[in-house]
Amino acid sequence: MYMIRRGPVIRSPRSLSSSAPRRLFSTSTSPPRPRAKRPICTTILLTSTLSLGALTVGLYTDAKTCPSPPFKLTNHSSETGTSSSFLTLLRTYFVYGLISVPTLVDHAQDMLDVLYKVPLLGGVTEGVVRQTFFEHFVGGETVHEIYPLFPELRKDNKGVLLVYSVEVDENEAAGAERQGEEEAKDLGQPIHKRIVDEMIKSIDVAADFEDGLDSGAGGVIGRQTCVAVKLTALLPNVQALHNFSLHLTRTRPTLSPQVPFPGTPASSDLAVLDTPILEECPLTAENVRELKDLYDDLNRICTRAKERRVRVILDAEYSWYQPAIDAFGHALMEKYNRLPEQLGWMTRWMPRSNPAEKMQVQPLVYVTYQAYLRRTSAHLARSLTLSREQGYALGVKLVRGAYHPYELAAHPPTSISAVTNTHGSISISPDPYPPVHPSKADTDTCYNECAAVLVRAVADDLASPASPLRPPRVGVLFGTHNWLSCELVLEELVKNGLAREDSEGAEGGQKGTLIVPPEVADRVTFSQLYGMSDSLSNYLVGRTKSTTPCVIKYMPYGALREVMPYLSRRAIENKSVLGEGGAVRERKEAAREIWRRVFGGVGL
């Protein structure tokens, strides 16, 4: 039997004091040597350098590939937002960088809802949203907080369209009661009543600003600080508007030619509020009470606006509310836009001791026409005819529309009558297809056609021999971020004799300045949303020359949680309604301006 003898144990002098001997031929692995730790400051420096390099490369790529504006002015200084601060440009680049990611936009609201519910993280998320999206798209939380922006914009010959941006979210649009309404009742004043008071306050602030300009030397004469009103914000439960719209869709008389859904208003639309409710009527007694209260509040708002000479614009909303919104808008225009010569034959010859009475702001009330609705061309033609027949000034805010994805999602996939809708859809359209145009190209065509019609209507109004002695019969606010549509309107103004090219003219394909008389600027105005298409707004300011601002920025305000539905729609609008690549273009324009300021435009 063989025995295996152990090898001798060799102790190194270094380990003599150690209790664990080391064998000469041991197969056990030796403990790894401790690696030197990289200093934290070196890691941070390396990471920062790589991040800064990637950001610089991305910034340069965006700046280099930024498309040129469709049109250029002979005065290049008016084309870019050189007045924006550097921090504002950085915020713009960050905001539109996020909006450029379609997947992120589509799921933004769901992600925010989850993050808000996480302890500690919810506060951080709210802080980030406030410093980025809120600061960029919203003027502030209160009307007094945004007041300093008025003179800043007026220095650039821009007006302001104020809106207390409280609107229904998707749950409330489906018929749910407004969140917090019951709690507000316990505090003594319902939320919708507080909103009415806030809108009247915004009218007073707008009027105070304009009155200060009128009394000051060298101030702009035109009263281009207006107030927008959302009807869904003025009700405790928006279901009343939905039921009223359903009733109007069923009972309005058929016209020839027919106007597609959601139809067009008639003078008898509000009669149902003063008659007994029939059994088959979708309106309840509570709905009628709320709608009467709404009409009283709208009269309060418009009466104050008339006293302070501030225009009121009724915003359009979802198509299942639009018949009711149209009905109230028509009734308000018929009452507050009444032309003086229609007040009675004796009134025409009575001398007016008050000059301001002769120069009342008209139209006082504007309603919104959405070009993405298939009805808009016929609806606008009918409105022009009705206003002439009834003797009131027609106020038109023409937009493309901001609810296109929701309209497609809400409409049933098959033909369902509005009377027998069993699929649970909120849509009340009786048509087998959605009420909106299927493509943006169709919407663009409709918008441009309606714009041409409206400019011709303004030209006809001014061509009347008595036009200098009476207020306007039609006023138009073109709400658009589309360069081609804006240039089309300007060309129509020239073609119809409402504006003329400056004596310098345009050279080398560049656009010269258009001289716009005050009576035209009082009737025709452009509008872009605050925080969007500033390059287009600046182009229009440089393209037109008038004592009255021809450009207005739509400026919302309100608490962060109240304006979240608005911010959500702004993100979606930048992705769709603004046009293909709209958010990318905004991001690249900000990148180009940042690169010019930091590197002097080297490499562009």
Task: Please report, as a single letter, which amino acid is at residue 455.
Answer: V
Return all residues near 323 (Cβ < 8 A) that are at least 6 apart: 244, 245, 248, 249, 252, 262, 263, 265
**Rounded CA gap, 522 and 552, in Å?**
12
For residue 101, the model assigns a pLDDT of: 80
Task: Please report, as a single letter, which amino acid is at residue 207.
Answer: A
**Rounded CA gap, 394 and 372, in Å?**
20
Strand pairing of 158-164 and 225-229?
parallel
Sheet holding 544-545, edge to edge: 500-501, 514-515, 544-545
Distances (CA, A) of 177 to 16, 166, 168, 425, 457: 84, 14, 10, 17, 42
Return all residues near 166 (Cβ < 8 A) that are at least 6 apart: 195, 230, 233, 558, 562, 563
**Rounded CA gap, 500 and 517, in Å?**
9
Q: For each successive 10 residues of the chain (604 residues), what is the average pLDDT?
A: 52 49 54 63 81 84 85 57 78 88 77 83 86 90 93 93 75 51 60 94 95 56 85 93 95 89 93 86 94 97 95 95 97 93 47 48 92 96 94 96 87 50 70 91 96 96 71 93 95 94 60 87 94 91 91 92 72 53 83 90 79
Q: Do 195 and 233 touch, CB atoms closer than 8 A?
A: yes
**Burial of 49: CB neighbours in 10 Å, binned 0-12, 13-18, 19+:** exposed
In the block, which residue shows the tokens 């105070």?
208
In the block, which residue shows the tokens 């003027």?
139
**Burial of 226: CB neighbours in 10 Å, binned 0-12, 13-18, 19+:** buried
Return all residues near 57 (Cβ < 8 A) that are at least 6 apart: none
**Burial of 491: CB neighbours in 10 Å, binned 0-12, 13-18, 19+:** middle
Which of 120, 61, 129 has the alpha carbon at shortest distance from 94?
129
SS3 content of the chain, % helix, strand, coil (to 5): 50, 10, 40
pTM of the model: 0.84
| Sequence-separated contacts (24+) of 489-492 with Cβ below 8 Å | 489/451, 489/455, 489/524, 489/526, 490/514, 490/543, 490/544, 492/451, 492/452, 492/455, 492/456
The partner residues of 73 in beta bridges, in order of sequence, read: 511
For residue 489, the model assigns a pLDDT of: 97
| Sequence-separated contacts (24+) of 140-148 with Cβ below 8 Å | 140/557, 141/557, 141/558, 141/559, 141/560, 142/557, 143/198, 143/201, 143/202, 143/205, 143/557, 144/205, 145/557, 146/555, 146/557, 147/205, 147/209
Q: Residue by residue, what is the 3-state secondary structure of 420-441? A: CCCCCCCCCCCCCCCCECCCHH
Distances (CA, A) of 47 to 35, 36, 43, 84: 21, 19, 6, 30
**Rounded CA gap, 305 and 202, in Å?**
10
Beta strands in 327-458 (DSSP E): 365-370, 394-399
Q: Do 441 and 419 touch, CB atoms closer than 8 A?
A: no
- Residue 569 sits at the vertex; the CA angle it makes with 122 and 530, to the nearest 5 degrees, is 95
Distances (CA, A) of 336 to 299, 331, 457: 9, 9, 20
Determine the 3-state secondary structure of 526 from DSSP.
strand
Mark residue 144 as left, alpha or beta (left: phi above 0; alpha: psi -120 to 50; beta: remaining). Answer: alpha
**Burial of 490: CB neighbours in 10 Å, binned 0-12, 13-18, 19+:** buried
In the block, which residue shows the tokens 């129509």?
492
**Burial of 32: CB neighbours in 10 Å, binned 0-12, 13-18, 19+:** exposed
**Rounded CA gap, 563 and 141, in Å?**
9
- Residue 244 sits at the vertex; the CA angle it makes with 243 and 250, to the nearest 5 degrees, is 90
Which of 390, 432, 401 has the alpha carbon at shortest distance from 414?
432
**Rounded CA gap, 112 and 103, in Å?**
14
Strand pairing of 514-515 and 500-501?
antiparallel
Q: Do 149 and 555 touch, CB atoms closer than 8 A?
A: yes
The partner residues of 227 in beta bridges, in order of sequence, read: 162, 312
Q: Is the previous residue joined to 363 through a cis bond, with omega within 30 degrees of 0? A: yes
For residue 586, the model assigns a pLDDT of: 87
Residue 3 tokens, joined: 């025995």
For residue 152, the model assigns a pLDDT of: 92
For residue 569, the model assigns a pLDDT of: 62
